[in-house]
Structure 1
Amino acid sequence: MALSPRLEFRQAQSLTLTPQLMQSIRLLQLSHLELNDFVEAELLRNPLLEREDGAADEAPELPERLAELSAYEDTVDHGDRIQSADSIADGYDTSVENVFPDQASADQLNLSSRIDHQGNGDGGEAPDLDQFVAARPRLADHLEEQTNLILRTQADRLIARHLIDNLNEAGYLGVELDSIAEQLGAELADVEAVLQAVQGCDPLGVFARDVRECLAIQLREKDRLDPMMQRLLDNLGLLANHDMPALMRAVGADREDIADMLSELRMLDPKPGRAFDVGPIEAVVPDVFVKQGPAGNWLIELNSDVLPRVLVNRTYYASVTRKARDSTEKTFLTDCLQTANWLTKSLDQRAQTILKVATEIVRQQDGFLVNGIAHLKPMTLKMVAETIEMHESTVSRVTSNKYISTPRGLLEMKYFFTTAIQSSDGGDSHSAEAVRHRIRQLIDAEPLSDVLSDDTIADVLKKEQGIDVARRTVAKYREGMNIPSSVIRRRQKKGLLATG
């Protein structure tokens, strides 16, 4: 069969994501703060959009505005016809004090009164100081002021500026000195000399490269960095592992001396940079409220305070369209109208989708809301998506960065989606979060003389609740909750028994 080009028609269906559809999908995963920022940008960009709560600030009636305007124009015209005191005094070739003796003193009195009340020469009431909040100083600005006084040459100040720029939130230096020297084309000895000079800046401990050096800087300032304390700082790993016998041998001190030195270390600040402003702290606000009704059912309500409400001003669109001069302006107004209609529809659809997903979560996790975390059921995105007849990716976007207020506390929607752990007796599966909670309960209740190993915890879970979980799974959950191993916990409890 010979191959040759030819033309043919085919009919097929395909799904195309338009820019507006992609934007609607993106709106689902935005938090309420990000959504409000997006809506604010649209309000500035689109003249046909306005906030729904702006209806209360309507303009006054037209006759009153005209009356005010007429009074204003009459005052201006009357003021134009009256000559000023300076022009009259110039006409008589003399000073204002000779023509109007009270004018200068009155002007001086008014000026003094305005300065006393306002501080900047403007009229009106004095500002309420309670309305202003003092800004917390930034660590970089605080250190730069000190380095400009400590260092003499411009080259040293430039090195110090690069050192400041490479500090993390805790105040530690996050790069190697040879990297800074190579970047600036300076000698490594000069960079080390500048680092040693600026390590005495306030707060003490900044510009340290690790926690050992940070504590050493603070102890050196207090004249408490003796050889024994230095050996303790060099063996912080043994202290973290609570290996007190090995720590006493490495430091060369008894238990009482170690206890005294540890009390001194507790008085120090291992993260001095945290005392300064590192950015605004935003409170978590729930997107959905869940409350128990009088009949024992669950009442689910959207938080209307975080939902932006916008309207399309069709009256303004009709009046402006009639005055459009060319097709470009008409096209712009048509695009603005379509965008405004799309935004209002997308916001409403987003709210309805959040409410639908939250309702299904509450329905499936009724046992958790009534009895607590031990009754949290394993649930996946697919289970919710199939019930509400939506795509799994849509449920994932809806539950991202969303919070739900329940009788069990303020929780992220993602919290309710956990994997299932099979039961050894063939019963219902257990939620991974419920298993973590039970592991924490067992470790918190273990006696001082008997520490549970991961194998023992796995056996207890299997015997008591029929949870078939492996030892490595118990270790993974324990490490995820920042709980030390049984060896370290045993050393901790022995230390408590010795000090008790």
Structure 2
Amino acid sequence: MALAPRLDLRQSQSLVMTPQLQQAIKLLALSSLEIEAFIAEEVERNPVLETASSDIAPDVPTEDFAPALNDSGERASDDLLSGDGQGTSDALDVDFSAETFHHDTPSDSVGGADGMLGLSGGAAPSGFDADGPDFDSFAARDISLREHLMAQAGSSLSGRQLFLVQQIIEHIEPTGYVGEDLMAAAHRLGVPMAEMEAALSELQRFDPTGVGARNLSECLAIQAREADRYDPCMAKLIDNLDLVAKGAFDQLKRMCRVDDEDLRDMLMELRGYDPKPGCRFESEDMLAVTPDIFITPRGDGWAIELNSANLPRILINRSYVAELGQDKATKAWLSDCMADANWLIKAMDQRQRTIVKVATEIVKQQDGFFRKGVAHLRPLTLRQVADAIDMHESTVSRVTSNKYLHCGRGLFDLKYFFSSGVQSADGEGASAEAVKSHIKSLIDAEGEKILSDDTLVDLLTAKGFDIARRTVAKYREAMGIGSSVQRRRQKKMGR
């Protein structure tokens, strides 16, 4: 065999993920907050991009869904994600020189031909051309548990003891329990264990009562002392919470040396304590979830539109392009910036249309839920929606991630409408959420006669559900509902 350099020609095919294709796929899965952050970064990076002012209503896609009109006729997003972008240039091209946008959705104006109030993004009537004051901004920020404890420590302690208490507070969990072993903390700080115990005792005197406990028994004991109910009988009861959970009342009566009436009073007192005193404080700022899609009734069908308030409007600043120099290097750089900007605008437009198309099919499949409630939720899979709208299953999965839908029944994650199901008498099947709803309603109405899982199976079968006992138990446990034995003990404790 000759050992010499040579040139060979080979022909092969491979799938290449271009940066534009990766960006388009990424945009589908982003939430509204992530989209805002992404666009802000792009506007800062690309000088030819700018965001539209708030008084320009975004041109978002909208669709009226009725039983006879269920296809919007828009091109599937797979065309964008599977090609090089040439196939969508004509359909998604925008004349940015005019920068004129018309109102074509119910959210673009207040009151329309049918008298519907705009849900978002509309201009205010009576000459108001600006948004009103945000009254939420005047509200004081909720104090966190650690801030509340630090304030108490600073006002009542000082010196070395203040330092030790602050170190313990730094490891307080959101529930109010100490998240670090006291012995490990003493070793870490290089102080005697007695000083750490004393610091913890000071912390346990703070508000809320029960904070600084190391376990549930200690938390309840602190609250019992505060209520002046920590006698030897209550102490024995708190030390045997496992027997309380098992409902071993006869054994507890013997251990505490009390009768039925005293034990009932002690249990009622115990149930009045807070097992997680820190949860009344917010551990972190809660982010309000804003809907991405609005579903409103219109005639015999539904009006489906995107929330224009969640869609930043991006434009090309052509005046900036015209002001720059005309040298060759500048023109090449501007050409790249313009290509990136046009692609981003096209990808955002296609993202919005894809979301509307997927939401339209979900509403079509779950029409019973929107009209009659969760009991009529049907089993639905991503593949069913993908096949119906001629898209890939992964595309539907990305579209439904971190997206929320608002309708007359509340705010729902799009993933909520996808669930497995069980057989039903009508042959169409029933969603797991619908079955859970029936199980919960049966248990809520059971009264003094506790229903076993076998009885629940019989009642659900009578309603037309073909369901096994183990499935009933699985759904019941998923909703946090105890077994018939546990519910019977709870009834007995509550008397």
Indicate the TM-score class for this superposition, using the shorter chain for normalisation: 0.7 to 0.9
Deviations 1:248-305 (A, max 9, x none): 33433233323433454455443332343422223332211222222x1222111112
Residues 1:54 and 1:488: Cα distance change in structure 2 (over 3 Å):
closer
Q: Does 2:214 match 1:209? A: yes
Q: Distance in 1 between matches of 2:295 and 2:30?
A: 21
Residues 1:149 and 1:131: Cα distance change in structure 2 (over 3 Å):
closer
Choose the corresponding residue for 1:471, options 453, 469, 472.
Answer: 469
Q: Distance in 2 between matches of 1:259 and 1:432?
A: 38
Determine the structure 2 residue equivalent to 1:177. Answer: 182
Deviations 1:300-324 (A, max 9, x none): 11111211111111221222243x6
Residues 1:458 and 1:48: Cα distance change in structure 2 (over 3 Å):
same
Q: Which SS does the other structure have where 1:203 is aligned?
A: coil
Q: Which SS does the other structure have where 1:405 is aligned?
A: strand
Determine the structure 1 residue equivalent to 2:491. Answer: 493
**Worse overlay, 353-362 or 36-45:** 36-45
Q: Distance in 1 between matches of 2:417 and 2:404?
A: 11
Post-superposition shift, 1:332?
A: 4.9
Determine the structure 2 residue equivalent to 1:441. Answer: 441
Deviations 1:25-55 (A, max 9, x none): 2222222122222223333333222222257
Choose the corresponding residue for 1:142, options 148, 151, 167.
Answer: 148
Determine the structure 2 residue equivalent to 1:457. Answer: 456
Q: Distance in 1 between matches of 2:209 and 2:445?
A: 40
Q: Distance in 2 between matches of 1:299 and 1:433?
A: 25
Choose the corresponding residue for 1:164, options 156, 164, 169.
Answer: 169
Q: Does 2:302 match 1:298? A: yes
Determine the structure 1 residue equivalent to 2:205. Answer: 200
Task: Give matches, 1:228-307, under 5 Å.
Answer: 228-265=233-270, 267-294=272-299, 296-307=300-311
Residues 1:23 and 1:488: Cα distance change in structure 2 (over 3 Å):
same
Which of the pair has the greater relative contact order for Cα pairs under 8 Å at 6+ separation? 2
Q: Is the 8 A contact 1:381 1:417 kept in 2?
A: yes
Residues 1:139 and 1:204: Cα distance change in structure 2 (over 3 Å):
same
Q: Is the 8 A contact 2:29 2:399 kept in 1?
A: yes
Residues 1:470 and 1:400: Cα distance change in structure 2 (over 3 Å):
same
Post-superposition shift, 1:472?
A: 1.9
Q: Is the 8 A contact 1:29 1:397 kept in 2?
A: yes
Give the structure with the larger helix fraction. 1
Please identify the structure whose Cα radius of gyration is greater.
Answer: 1
Q: Does 2:38 match 1:38? A: yes
Post-superposition shift, 1:346?
A: 2.0
Determine the structure 1 residue equivalent to 2:323. Answer: 319
Q: Is the 8 A contact 1:287 1:402 kept in 2?
A: yes
Q: Is the 8 A contact 1:243 1:491 kept in 2?
A: no
Residues 1:131 and 1:283: Cα distance change in structure 2 (over 3 Å):
closer
Q: Which SS does the other structure have where 1:23 is aligned?
A: helix
Gap regions ≥5 residues in structure 2:
57-133
Aligned residues: percent identity?
Answer: 51
Q: Residue 146 of structure 2 aligns to which amino acid in structure 1?
A: A
Q: Is the 8 A contact 1:167 1:207 kept in 2?
A: yes
Q: Distance in 2 between matches of 1:267 and 1:437?
A: 29
Q: Distance in 1 between matches of 2:302 and 2:135?
A: 45
Q: Residue 198 of structure 1 aligns to which amino acid in structure 2?
A: L
Q: Distance in 1 between matches of 2:209 and 2:419?
A: 45
Q: Distance in 2 between matches of 1:355 and 1:258?
A: 60
Q: Distance in 2 between matches of 1:436 and 1:214?
A: 34
Q: Distance in 2 between matches of 1:227 and 1:42?
A: 67
Q: Does 2:226 match 1:221? A: yes
Residues 1:305 and 1:183: Cα distance change in structure 2 (over 3 Å):
same
Q: Distance in 2 between matches of 1:410 and 1:180?
A: 44
Post-superposition shift, 1:354?
A: 0.5
Gap regions ≥5 residues in structure 1:
57-127
Post-superposition shift, 1:241?
A: 4.5
Q: Distance in 1 between matches of 2:429 and 2:469?
A: 18
Task: Give matches, 1:403-414, under 5 Å.
Answer: 403-414=404-415
Q: Distance in 2 between matches of 1:176 and 1:350?
A: 50
Residues 1:51 and 1:478: Cα distance change in structure 2 (over 3 Å):
same
Q: Distance in 2 between matches of 1:472 and 1:197?
A: 50
Residues 1:334 and 1:5: Cα distance change in structure 2 (over 3 Å):
same
Q: Which SS does the other structure have where 1:207 is aligned?
A: coil
Q: Residue 373 of structure 1 aligns to which amino acid in structure 2?
A: V
| Count of residues paired in the alignment | 418
RMSD: 3.1
Post-superposition shift, 1:392?
A: 1.1
Q: Is the 8 A contact 1:235 1:250 kept in 2?
A: no
Deviations 1:51-87 (A, max 9, x none): 222577xxxxxxxxxxxxxxxxxxxxxxxxxxxxxxx
Q: Distance in 1 between matches of 2:255 and 2:445?
A: 33
Deviations 1:327-346 (A, max 9, x none): 3x556544433332232222
Q: Is the 8 A contact 1:228 1:252 kept in 2?
A: yes
TM superposition score normalised by structure 2: 0.75
Q: Distance in 2 between matches of 1:306 and 1:160?
A: 44
